[in-house]
Amino acid sequence: MAKISVFGIGYVGVVSAACLARDGHDVIAVDVDLGKIKAINAGQSPIVEEGIDALVAEVVASGKLRATDDFAQAVLDTDASFICVGTPSAPDGSVGLSYVTSVCESIGAALADKATYHSVVVRSTIVPGSTTEACIPTLERFSGKVAGEDFGVGYYPEFLRESTAIADYYDPGLIVFGYLDEGTRHILESLNKDLPCEMHQVDIRTAEMVKYTSNTWRAVKVTFANEIGNIAKASGIDGQTVMEILCSDDKIAMSPYFMRPGFAFGGSCLPKDVRALRYLANSTGTPAHILNAVLDANEAQIAKAEQMVIDSGTKKVGFVGISFKPGTDDLRESPLISLAARLIDKGVEVNVYDPFVQEAYDTGTPGAGRGNEEVPDLEDRMVADLDELIESSGTVLVGNLYKDTVERLKSAAQNRPVVDLTRLNREMTSNSQYQGICW
């Protein structure tokens, strides 16, 4: 069991401290608010939350939780410090770090007088880069020590929902933490090893980004549901019923397949259906903020890919894939068709390797080339051999992922520019030769 100091007796701090104490750890809750400290030490919760009153009373009575305003002693008496203070928005909308850095100053000053190793773990919601650019420099400056060598650092975001926080603590949908050193990793791993959830151990910036992505995704879902509800109501339909039915589909509607950063969406359904729903909204006088943004953002992703090819300096690009997704010859509203047409209009020579579109042309399929209204002479631009396409191209653009092409394309990325819109391999990230659209 560990000895842990929790800085900040607010919502996250109280729930975290009480649950850690119930798990058998010795916990010190730390704050400047004497009222909160007095409440904790009297076995009373300073926050309102389902089940928290009984839990605080239980762990205080057992001697596993106490509270203090002595920051230095709390650090000296524990193995790790969790920072759980608030990060309210600054006037310009940026994250407010003043409470976090203030606590880091106090912890750093205490570390200066501590001979044993100590880990500092941030749980407050802070934007990517905050731990390394604000917290660590502050801790090092006030302690006179080096992070990762003389003391540990981690970022361990919480995903607690008010009113169900204790239940969420013990049955989380997501566990992620970043760490600078093995000592901190070991502490965080041991705290989570018995919980019924996959434990994602990543770098600190990734953990910070996951927290913001999770919160923003929740906000997007609420706004999307509201927009659908507004459009449905204006059309005489119950929007809650629509969304309840949608959420019952965990094969497609809730699938992670569509949550993979990459290129724009296309095909015979998504573009036209978003446009049609937007038209319906407009026809009923209902604002469609999300639908407008979806179409604008999709167009911007095509423009981004176009600029990536232009920036590569090529006058001859070889497309690997031209259909709207791999495994089909369907070109209807394919964003790759739109991208190819834009490049051709700018004087770039475009050739294409796509085994499924090629098969349709070779076999004389009646629907060969279906949906292509933008790329002139597409059949003449087709190249049946991948090696021939690569060797004859200045830049190779990977638009669709075909498993049997991966190794050859990875090799090509060693000696020529490659623009990847789908990600050949998770180990590949952008460098001077290889450019991934979102990685």
- Pairing verdict, β 316-320 and 349-353: parallel
What average pLDDT does range 417-430 have in this prediction? Answer: 95
pLDDT at 297 over 90: yes
Q: What are the structure tokens assigned to 57, written together?
A: 């009373």
On whether 318 is known to bind a ligand per the annotation, the reply is no
Q: What are the structure tokens assigned to 253, written together?
A: 């509607």
Is 297-436 a domain of CATH 3.40.50.2300?
no
Tell me the residue type at 123.
R
Distance CA 254, CA 211 (A): 20
Segment among 10-19, 27-36, 249-258, 283-292 with least mean pLDDT: 249-258
User: Could you tell me the pLDDT band of residue 252, with boundaries at 50, 70 and 90?
Assistant: confident
pLDDT at 268 over 90: no
On whether 403 is known to bind a ligand per the annotation, the reply is no
Tell me the residue type at 295.
L
pLDDT at 151 over 90: yes
Distance CA 366, CA 93 (A): 56
Distance in angstroms between the alpha carbons of the first and the last residue of the chain:
39
On whether 259 is known to bind a ligand per the annotation, the reply is yes
On whether 87 is known to bind a ligand per the annotation, the reply is yes
Residue positions annotated with a catalytic role:
269
**Confidence (pLDDT) at 90:** 82
Distances (CA, A) of 85 to 10, 96, 340, 365, 411: 7, 11, 50, 64, 49
**Confidence (pLDDT) at 127:** 93
CATH of range 3-204; options 3.20.20.150, 3.40.50.720, 3.40.50.300, 3.20.20.80: 3.40.50.720
* For the chain, percent of residues with pLDDT exceeding 90: 93
| Continuous segment of H or E residues that includes residue 41 | helix 34-41
- Pairing verdict, β 119-122 and 80-83: parallel
The tens digit of pLDDT for each residue in 344-372 reads 999 999 999 999 999 999 999 888 998 99
On whether 108 is known to bind a ligand per the annotation, the reply is no
**Confidence (pLDDT) at 337:** 98
What is the CB neighbour count within 10 angstroms for residue 60? 23
On whether the CB atoms of residues 188 and 177 are closer than 8 A, the answer is yes
Distance CA 142, CA 107 (A): 8
| Continuous segment of H or E residues that includes residue 296 | helix 289-311
What average pLDDT does range 245-272 have in this prediction? Answer: 89
Helices (H), 156-203: 165-170, 182-192
CATH 3.40.50.720-classified regions of the chain: 3-204, 297-436
The tens digit of pLDDT for each residue in 368-412 reads 998 999 999 999 999 999 999 999 999 999 999 999 999 999 999
